[in-house]
Chain A
């Protein structure tokens, strides 16, 4: 066997076993990809999987092996937001484990054991991971601890009360044993029905900033396994040709040149429907061959049923819709009467937000192994229950014959939680077409960046039309608002959960339920149903649009009233103490009372503030900008205050605020998916422009101390940065931006 051939074997073998363990098919045995380098030994080995057989698995969330490793099973996807670390912290806290002995693996699809109790299905989303697991994971750890204590008491013939547990060890007078030593005996104890949880004052891990992320080592040495990296013996790579327009289908295909590419094995056609592409896939022994083969396909597309509108036509339709009555999502007081009062000052404004792609660094991909009567899937899986049932329906097999194996996701931002299961079903349909041609090997579908960018399932484009009234004292007395946006939930199996009386709550969240005290408030919604651009939740969902518009509008009102925008907000938040507290904290920490330091000659500086509640978390941000004479600008600093209840992992919260600000700033500055005649105009990072390091502001994060139950942090920084920056630009220049992205609007 050549060196390279042996390496292939090692890689595949270790990873396959690792995943079998994840799937509950076998005990976890993970050798990892052994680092050959000597000096790597001084780096942490990180989250290496246990090498010993499992002895003690008291519940679905924890296993303790005789080699002293504690394996925490995460029902949630790790896509960067720190969930593995958070869930491990909760369980290890009550178990009294040593942080270094704790490892995390992803749970398989099994809604009976791994349901998200806030969503009712197995899925990761809505910034719910910590909120819905807070007691569950702690109880799982406490139960395991109780059984270890019972085992020790039995072994040592002492009372349970006389035993203490500390950092993976149990102690009693004259006795000491590790978790691993007691694991086998603990497995024989009865599982306690009820367990007491710690008083928060006794927490040793929760709330402590010194814990490292559980994925900090494997993601720095190349050993972390994403779907992109996962391999099975005889696996083929599929690269697909998608139509340029949503709804087009292949009419005539010449695959001769594709088949002539060395290492291309097969070419198959797959059929989509209104939720996913139809197209042609080239299957090859390596990615380059598959891609070269795909590029050599000659396809005539039938576009007779394709969607052919452009962004300009869509916007024109939305404006027309906003001029007519919408469905009423909120109605307080009487806006018409308030507007008619003689002493009011009116503000009328329109806001436009574009479609946005999620553009995670790992483009969509999925590995499928079909079998008679079922299949196995490897994926960074964010939506187990939906994907499992959709795949089962496609294959006409029971859901439990579809095994979903969890891998790291190289970002998601909502893209991998799709009620339409688009890329998974595409992978399965390709595998099925191959199977029918006698190609019955594992198949990994790999979208290129271009397919990912043009693949639909965008944050919907929004059009807002608003009218505000200020009384003689500048007080905001009336607010009438019309939102026009596609629904991300209409037409999916989740429609009944989110749509009430025709109103998709996700389209008006953060607006219809705004915390500001406005005596006359009317929010209307129009949901167009003729726009066939696929849309999806995008990190912070409706808040990503509605926090921007509401927080800039409030700033417009403050400016019209000639009031300080911080105090103006504060006065309207008397009934919202948490929001007021984060606003105060951000303003104080940023030194709002002191004037902003002026810039160099020819530069204008400004600062803006915004505050918003989403997913039960309150975030305030204060942005400082410098605008040059040519209109180019830099966001210099952002001061962020967050109240997310009890801070489980303070450093992860800081990271999510920093990262959420970066993600939101990318959209605010550059993000736009536009269509021309139905064709998406962006393809790769030169056209769908990400934030780069030179544009990243300094971010200071301040966490409000809280003993309340933890709430979400993954999405909540995102919607606040765009309004903070736009308000800062107004403060610097007097120009009000009402359309995103900001791009070069200050230069023109």
Chain B
């Protein structure tokens, strides 16, 4: 049995292979399907979640390694003031197209704004380069991060 803190709720799970990537645990066992599979090799960022406030790729993070840490997913990121501002900015600017990568984008953007309250385009490009969007919503992602930064400083 392992005990996990996901989005502020502590729960116990039985018969979980600790080697199972957190991604599949979240999606298949915890039924939090907002976190997406895109590559399985930490190449695309669709599976990005927060582990104690840091952005990690859940597809290469064994669930056994997150015991005792705080996991936050797109389903819970709105509890965080910054995460909420990011989601609101994403909505305001209609960032999404197919939407499949956007959970990961939002999770990465939230961590960026926690560490840098007013990121430049260049800082955004560095922080977000691990998150792939095949629809090409990158311009709006940049704009939405600026929008969220502005709303948080207002």
Contact = CB atoms under 8 A, between A and B. Distances in A.
A651 B43 contact: no
B53 interface: no
B48 interface: no
Interface centre among A8, A33, A289, A690 (most CB of B within 10 A): A690
B56 interface: no
A180 B132 CA distance: 43
B41 A686 contact: yes
Contacts of B132: 361, 685, 690-692
Interface of B: 7, 9, 11, 13, 17, 20-21, 24-25, 27-41, 43-44, 46, 73-76, 78-79, 84, 87-88, 90-91, 94-103, 106, 124-126, 128-129, 131-142
Interface of A: 2-4, 7-8, 11, 33, 35-40, 42-44, 46, 79-82, 212-213, 215-226, 228-229, 231, 237, 262, 286-289, 359-363, 408-413, 446, 448-449, 651, 655, 658-663, 665-666, 684-686, 690-694, 696, 698-699
A362 B36 CA distance: 8
Given A287-B27, A361-B101, A408-B98, A221 B74 contact: yes
Contacts of A224: 99
Contact of B124 (A2, A690, A693): A693
Given A39-B84, A222-B34, A223-B34, A288 B17 contact: yes
Contacts of B25: 288
* 7 smallest beta-carbon distances between A and B, as pairs: A222-B34, A662-B136, A410-B100, A219-B99, A80-B98, A80-B97, A659-B136
A281 B101 CA distance: 27
A226 B91 contact: no
B103 to A, nearest CB: 6
Given A4-B30, A693-B124, A410 B99 contact: yes
A287 B24 contact: yes
A360 B139 CA distance: 19
Given A80-B98, A662-B137, 13 more contacts: A3-B9, A4-B29, A4-B31, A222-B32, A286-B24, A361-B44, A361-B133, A408-B99, A409-B98, A449-B41, A659-B136, A663-B134, A692-B129
B100 A226 contact: yes
A216 B126 CA distance: 25
30 contacts: A2-B11, A4-B11, A11-B33, A33-B75, A39-B84, A43-B91, A80-B99, A213-B96, A220-B106, A221-B75, A222-B32, A222-B33, A222-B74, A222-B103, A228-B37, A231-B33, A262-B17, A289-B17, A362-B100, A409-B98, A410-B99, A411-B100, A411-B134, A655-B137, A655-B140, A658-B137, A658-B140, A663-B134, A693-B124, A693-B128
Nearest to A691: B136
B35 A222 contact: yes
A43 B88 contact: yes
Contacts of B135: 80, 361, 411, 659, 662-663
A698 B121 CA distance: 11
A287 to B, nearest CB: 5
A659 B79 contact: no
A690 B43 CA distance: 10
A661 to B, nearest CB: 7
Contacts of A411: 98, 100, 134-135
B96 A216 contact: yes
A212 B94 contact: yes
Given A43-B88, A220-B96, A288-B24, A694 B125 contact: yes
A395 to B, nearest CB: 28
B91 A684 contact: no
Given A39-B79, A80-B135, A216-B96, A3 B11 contact: yes
B94 A216 contact: yes
Contacts of A40: 78, 84
B97 A684 contact: no
A684 B132 CA distance: 12
Contacts, number: 217
A413 B39 contact: no
A221 B11 contact: no
B40 A666 contact: no
B97 A39 contact: no
Contacts of B24: 286-288
Contacts of A408: 98-99
Contacts of A696: 136, 138-139, 142
A39 B94 CA distance: 20
A600 to B, nearest CB: 15
Contacts of A286: 20, 24, 28-29
B40 A43 contact: no
Contact of B129 (A42, A289, A694): A694
Contacts of A660: 136
A221 B34 CA distance: 7
Given A7-B31, A39-B78, A692-B129, A663 B136 contact: yes
Contacts of A217: 91
A408 B30 CA distance: 22
A660 B135 CA distance: 7
A360 B133 CA distance: 9
Contacts of B38: 361-363, 449, 685
A350 B21 CA distance: 48
A82 B34 CA distance: 20
A222 B133 contact: no
B21 A288 contact: yes
Given A35-B75, A82-B97, A212 B91 contact: yes
B40 A220 contact: no
B104 to A, nearest CB: 9
Nearest to A651: B94
Contacts of B78: 35, 37, 39-40, 43, 221
B91 to A, nearest CB: 5
B36 A361 contact: yes
B87 A221 contact: yes
Given A4-B11, A228-B37, A661-B136, A655 B20 contact: no
B102 A220 contact: yes
Contacts of A44: 91
Given A215-B96, A690-B132, A448 B40 contact: yes
Contacts of B131: 693
Contacts of B29: 4, 286
A361 B136 contact: no
Contact of B13 (A4, A222, A262, A449): A4
A287 B84 CA distance: 30
Contacts of A694: 125-126, 129
Contacts of A35: 75, 78
A133 to B, nearest CB: 19
Interface centre among B32, B39, B76, B124 (most CB of A within 10 A): B39
Contacts of B142: 693, 696
Contacts of A692: 129, 132, 138
A348 B35 CA distance: 51
Contacts of B73: 222
Nearest to A365: B37
A215 B137 CA distance: 15
A418 B135 CA distance: 20
A413 B126 contact: no
